[in-house]
Each structure stands twice: as structure tokens, then as C-alpha cells.
Amino acid sequence: MRRPYKHAAAVADLRARILDGTYQPGDELPSIAQIRATYGLGDRAARAAIRELVEQGLAVTRIGHGTYVREDATPQSVPAGRPAAPRARRTHAARRLAPTDAPTAGDEDLTPTTNTTTTESPPPDVALMLDIDPAETVTTERTILSDPAGPVALRTTYRPQTTDTRQLRTITTHTSARRPTPSEASTLATTTAAIVLIQDETHLDPHGHPIAVVRTVHRADTTRLADTYHPHT
């Protein structure tokens, strides 16, 4: 069994004090020197404790001033961190519309819990994939996909209002990772310090022109993406 890091007790204690209100949003947290003295740590371990609180979305460091409790670090907005029984990680096909040889279903076992449709300008990178002006408005459909434990993914479809989706011929998929936007973090019940997996599908017509982009934002702590390839022999 892996031994806990030396700073684990300090992180657990400071986290508990933040969540129970001992340290209020905006309060200054103990300094590196104070953490060293209180928890019997070396300089490196004390700095690691502060770094982990920042990574958990509980604290923010202001260079030259100290470390403070984040304004949005509340028991309601901050997940439990590393629970004793972590939530199971799901495996999904890296291609949402999974072919028959994919290692797992796309997401047929997830439940759509919220569906909204608006008309708005897409994010700049989506506009680039759609080959449109970033100021142009598109039809935007959002769906939250959940399992019994809660939200797993947020799927957004961006579709220019002049395109005919019946002309779909090819789908190009790209996968990346980043931190969620505040809106994504709120929807997926996580923090902006977490990591999300981004699965982008560009739908192309028979002439290779983009007609839609489907972006699925997965919680990285609950999902892993898999695919199967058959190289030519």
C-alpha cells in the first residue's frame, strides 16, 4: 500500500477548516512557515500542501501577499476531493457515434437530464472548425448526460442555421484536455481546478464542408475515452 504524502494531514486539516467555515472565503491561510511549525513539515512538504489546496479549487495564491480561501470555496461548490470509495470511471468510445468495432458504446447508457436550444455565437475555436465568422450566430443545443451518481458530460451541438444536416457524410474527431470554464464546472458539479476531456466531432457534408460541431465535455475523473483501430497489413 502506498504511504500517504507527508503533507496529506495538513491538507486534510486545512481543507476541513475551510469547509466548516473556520476559514471564510477571502481569509488568509497559514503561511509556509506556519504550516511547517504546526504540522512538523519541511519547506517542500509545506509548499506542496498549499499547492494541493490550490489545485482542489479551495485556495488562491497571490504572489507577494500569501494564500487565501477562494471566494467560491464553499461546502456546496467544492466536491469531496479524494473520497474513500471513489466514483467508478466509465469507458466510452472516443467516437460518439460508435462503429460496430468500437470497444464500448458511445453513451447509450447515459441519461439526458437537461436539454436547451438557443441561438448564439459559438466559441472562437468552434467557429474556426465550422469555417464561419466568430460573430455569426448558430443554433446551439445543450444536453447534460448523467449516470445514477450525477453528471458525467455536457454535450453541445453547434449548427449553422443555413446547413442541411441530412447531407452528413464524414465525421472528424479530436480529443483534448483542459480545465473547465466556470459554466462547465457548475454544470458538471466539479471545480474550475479540475480536468475535463474535450471530445470534438466535426460533421462534414459530401464536399468536405463543415455542417455541425458536437462538443462533449467529460469529467476526467469519471470517464476515459477508448477507440479501436485496424491498421492495414
Binned at pLDDT 50, 70 and 90, residue 182 comes out as confident
At 164 the pLDDT is 65
Q: Which residue has the higher pLDDT, 148 or 92?
A: 148
Sheet holding 170-178, edge to edge: 111-120, 138-147, 150-160, 210-219, 196-204, 170-178
Ordered by start, the domain boundaries in the chain are: 8-69, 90-226
Domain 90-226's class? alpha beta
Query: What's the pTM value of the predicted model, to 2 decimals?
Result: 0.59
Say how far apart CA 103 and CA 91 lie, in whole Å: 9
Is 114 in contact with 120 (CB distance < 8 Å)? no
At 78 the pLDDT is 45
pLDDT for 111-121, tens place per residue? 888 788 999 99
Pick the CATH number of 8-69 from 3.40.30.10, 2.40.50.140, 2.60.40.10, 1.10.10.10: 1.10.10.10
Indicate whether 151 pLDDT > 60.
yes
Q: Which residue has the higher pLDDT, 171 or 138?
A: 138
